[in-house]
Amino acid sequence: MDLNQVYHKIDKLRNQIKKYNEAYYQKDSPLVNDSTYDKLFLELKKLEEKYNDYKPEEKLTNKVSGERSKKFEEHKHTYRLYSLDNSNNLDELRKWIEKTIKDIGETRNVSFVAELKIDGLACALSYKKGIFETGATRGDGFIGEDITQNLLTISSIPHKLPQPLDIDVRGEVYMPISAFEKLNEQQTLNNEKLFANPRNAASGSLRQLNSEITKKRNLSFFSYGAIIESQNEIKTHYETLDLLQSLGFSVNSNKKLCKNVEEIIEFCNFWENERFKLDYATDGIVIKVNELNFEEDLGYTSRAPKWATAYKFPPEKVWTKLLDIEYNIGKTGAITPVAIMQPVSLGGTIVKRASLHNFDEIKRLNLSIGDKVLVKKAAEIIPKVVGANHSGDAIPIDLPQKCPSCNTPLNKPENEVNFYCSNIFCPQQIIAKLEFFASKNGMDIDGMGSQIVRQLYNLGLIKTYDDFYKLKYDDFLKLNLVKEKTATNLLNAINKSKNTTLARFLTALSIKHVGKETALLIVREFNTLDKIENATYDELAKIQGIGEKIAKSIYEWFKNCHNLNIVKNMLQLGIIFEETRNTLISDKFKDKTFVITGTLSQKRTYYEEKIKENGGKVSSQVSKNTSYLLCGENPGTKYDKALNLHVIILNENEFNNML
């Protein structure tokens, strides 16, 4: 692999991790399990360490994960908060313990504290003279979200301490599993989206702008550390936990003071299975050096303490029986096989179904009805069939030839793994499109969950996207479990969704291959719906990041009279697009591609918008097609590459003069 390939790999991993961080920390909607994330993060870390001459704008592996939400005021932490490095198996954990003892000095007596790793939201609480003053999320470690009012609603967080201490308390806000199950029952009754797991539910509940909602969610708090001003008699981490308990904080009782590696391993092995008896989610064990003076000796990396590690439990796997295969029809007509299994307890919940993704997966696993199947669910997110034992009387799975919803013959495009129903009037395909249109990633009609959409469709009240904007108050009262207040809220949400962006609207239409990122590329190129509707195939295919397949899909969608009538109706019913910030001021940068590197006086988005407003394009990588490199202080390898390719290099003044 040459250097350009390595750098491309690093950038690709960085973009993946940024995407997963945003989903996990800001949207409370994880896209991958912890195990997958940790592997990607470790791969990036190794590449960054090996090729340390490559200097991107920021090294993600040096950064504490978690961006601050803009909904709350920012809070600058008095003492920085860190992430934890991971030990992903017992061998790695042994090596970490041995290295830590060696770094401290093998002649010095060292002990460790092993504690359950609570799967919640890390927070810092600040007390002045014993009075709770502020509480904030971890954020990026330096700045978090001020959520003091919401934290005050949690009964396990004391408002006043029995001693007038100045103390910063660290801990984890979590939702008990029993409270999580009740919350999802209520979400079901209200036809609202279910929370994926207790961690997401806790995070979403803690970030409510209305603290009364937070109060109803039955959150709790375990404290696991503190920074105490003028408290010199505390010599160990274990003593710190005892002090916190005496001050009225809830400290997890499932902890152990360990003298050697064997005791730590024994503790990890015990809780790997025993954790499922608890009323809170835990995904590992945190191991810390007990002696505080050794913490000072060991110090920190740029993102984590060297005196602590998190041992992650391996994903749980269980055997059960495959009872049947069902087929889901997605919004693009893709047919997805779903395994229907004998109910089995997995990761603390009962699992009955698991997506098999596509028919190639059925072939790969050589599945038959009646087989024993091995199922795993890492980090309590998505069940997956990972293996099978075949029984003698198992029934082979025949791939469907026709759509299970509308009986239309299925087709399989060349170079694709999915089979598709080509009937755009297929009932299940229409329902999937309507569900996505109303969803958060679509037009974001708050409260319009899948159950309400399905009821509206079954009653004949909605068949196409424009029908949402024709609904009346009385229509909602015809639905099960919908009362006057819910009906009013749904109507208000529909009206609110009329003011949207062109990119969101384009995404919501469920055009094949057009997601959020592709929609943004199209809008930046054409700016108006009219221009998109009238774009030629060649014009679409020329957009950087859009290939022939996507261009064909967009072109054909807007040449369909049925689709155009629906769009026309929605515009007449009041859909209004917010003015795009990328409206062209001039075409002076037409056909010019810019790459930006280094530290500039303004945020990078400022320069990106200026370039796009004047008809130019912005790329993340220097290539032979790059017209200009806009270069600030401390540029990375993009500067060297631009020199080698004879790309014109501009400083800020030169760029501003061009404007």
pLDDT per position as a tens digit, 303-338: 789 999 999 888 778 889 999 999 999 998 999 999
Q: How many CB atoms lie within 10 A of CB 555?
A: 16
Q: Rounded to an integer, what distance in angstroms lies between the CA atom of residue 282 and that of residue 310?
A: 12
pLDDT for residue 581: 44
- For the chain, how many residues are written? 659
458-476, pLDDT tens digit by residue? 999 999 999 999 999 999 9
Indicate the helix (H) or strand (E) that contains 648: strand 648-650
Q: Rounded to an integer, what distance in angstroms lies between the CA atom of residue 283 and that of residue 286?
A: 10
The dihedral region occupied by 395, where left means phi > 0, alpha psi between -120 and 50, and beta the remainder, is beta
Q: Rounded to an integer, what distance in angstroms lies between the CA atom of residue 375 and that of residue 351?
A: 9
Q: Rounded to an integer, what distance in angstroms lies between the CA atom of residue 21 and that of residue 355?
A: 24
Q: Rounded to an integer, what distance in angstroms lies between the CA atom of residue 231 and that of residue 657?
A: 59
Contacts of 73 (CB under 8 A, 6+ apart): 145, 146
Is the pLDDT confidence value at 160 over 90? yes
Q: 3-state class of 346 per DSSP? A: strand
Q: 3-state class of 339 per DSSP? A: strand
Is the pLDDT confidence value at 293 over 60? yes
Q: Rounded to an integer, what distance in angstroms lies between the CA atom of residue 178 and that of residue 188?
A: 16
Closest CA to 602 of 638, 648, 656: 656
pLDDT for residue 582: 45
Q: What are phi and psi of 315, to 5 degrees?
A: -55, 135
Q: Rounded to an integer, what distance in angstroms lies between the CA atom of residue 166 and that of residue 294?
A: 23
The dihedral region occupied by 429, where left means phi > 0, alpha psi between -120 and 50, and beta the remainder, is alpha
Contact 304, 298 (CB under 8 A): no
Q: 3-state class of 587 per DSSP? A: coil
Contacts of 639 (CB under 8 A, 6+ apart): 597, 598, 629, 631, 649
Find the Cα–Cα–Cα–Cα dihedral 66, 69, 75, 80, rounded to 10°: 0
Q: Which two tokens stand for residue 472?
A: 């009346």
Is the pLDDT confidence value at 67 over 50? no
Q: How many CB atoms lie within 10 A of CB 64?
A: 18
**Active-site residue numbers?**
117
pLDDT for residue 52: 66
pLDDT for residue 63: 47
Closest CA to 197 of 112, 267, 280, 114: 280
Least confident of 107-116, 152-161, 197-206, 245-254: 197-206
Average pLDDT, the chain: 86
Is the pLDDT confidence value at 258 over 50? yes
User: Average pLDDT, stretch 89-112?
Assistant: 92
User: Average pLDDT, stretch 337-344?
Assistant: 91
Half-sphere exposure of 654 (CA within 13 A, CB side): 9
Closest CA to 137 of 250, 44, 24: 24
Is the pLDDT confidence value at 288 over 90? yes
pLDDT for residue 403: 94
pLDDT for residue 97: 95
Q: Rounded to an integer, what distance in angstroms lies between the CA atom of residue 592 and that of residue 599?
A: 22
* Domains of the chain and CATH, by start: 3-62 (1.10.287.610), 74-312 (3.30.470.30), 317-400 (2.40.50.140), 427-497 (1.10.150.20), 502-577 (1.10.150.20), 593-658 (3.40.50.10190)
pTM: 0.51
Identify residue 170 by its one-letter amino acid code.
Answer: R
Identify residue 112 by its one-letter amino acid code.
Answer: F
12-52, pLDDT tens digit by residue? 787 777 777 666 555 555 566 556 666 777 777 777 777 76
Contact 343, 321 (CB under 8 A): no
pLDDT for residue 402: 93
pLDDT for residue 236: 95
Contact 184, 94 (CB under 8 A): no
User: Strand 255-258 to strand 220-228: parallel, antiparallel, or no bridges (unpaired)?
Assistant: unpaired
Closest CA to 304 of 97, 79, 117, 82: 82
Is the pLDDT confidence value at 381 over 70? no
User: Strand 410-411 to strand 220-228: parallel, antiparallel, or no bridges (unpaired)?
Assistant: unpaired
Q: Which two tokens stand for residue 333?
A: 């007509």
pLDDT for residue 248: 95
Half-sphere exposure of 498 (CA within 13 A, CB side): 19
Closest CA to 374 of 388, 363, 361: 388
Least confident of 146-150, 201-205, 436-440, 460-464: 201-205
Q: Which two tokens stand for residue 615?
A: 């008809």
pLDDT for residue 432: 95
Q: Rounded to an integer, what distance in angstroms lies between the CA atom of residue 29 and that of residue 199?
A: 10
- Strands of 427-525, DSSP E: 499-500
Interior/surface letters 250-287, b for 16+ CB within 10 angstroms, e for the rest: bbbebbbebeebeebbebbeebeeebbebebbbbbbbb
pLDDT for residue 235: 92
Contact 582, 609 (CB under 8 A): yes
102-122, pLDDT tens digit by residue? 999 878 899 999 999 998 999
Least confident of 141-155, 521-535, 548-562, 597-611: 597-611
Q: Rounded to an integer, what distance in angstroms lies between the CA atom of residue 90 and that of residue 408?
A: 52
The dihedral region occupied by 191, where left means phi > 0, alpha psi between -120 and 50, and beta the remainder, is left
Contacts of 375 (CB under 8 A, 6+ apart): 317, 318, 319, 320, 341, 344, 346, 351, 354, 383, 384, 385, 386
Q: What's CA 401's distance to the chain center, in Å?
A: 36
pLDDT for residue 418: 87
Q: Rounded to an integer, what distance in angstroms lies between the CA atom of residue 250 and that of residue 615?
A: 58
Higher pLDDT, 4 or 498: 498
Contacts of 452 (CB under 8 A, 6+ apart): 191, 479, 482, 490
Q: What's CA 229's distance to the chain center, in Å?
A: 37
Indicate the helix (H) or strand (E) that contains 133: strand 131-137
Contacts of 93 (CB under 8 A, 6+ apart): 87, 264, 265, 268, 287, 309, 311
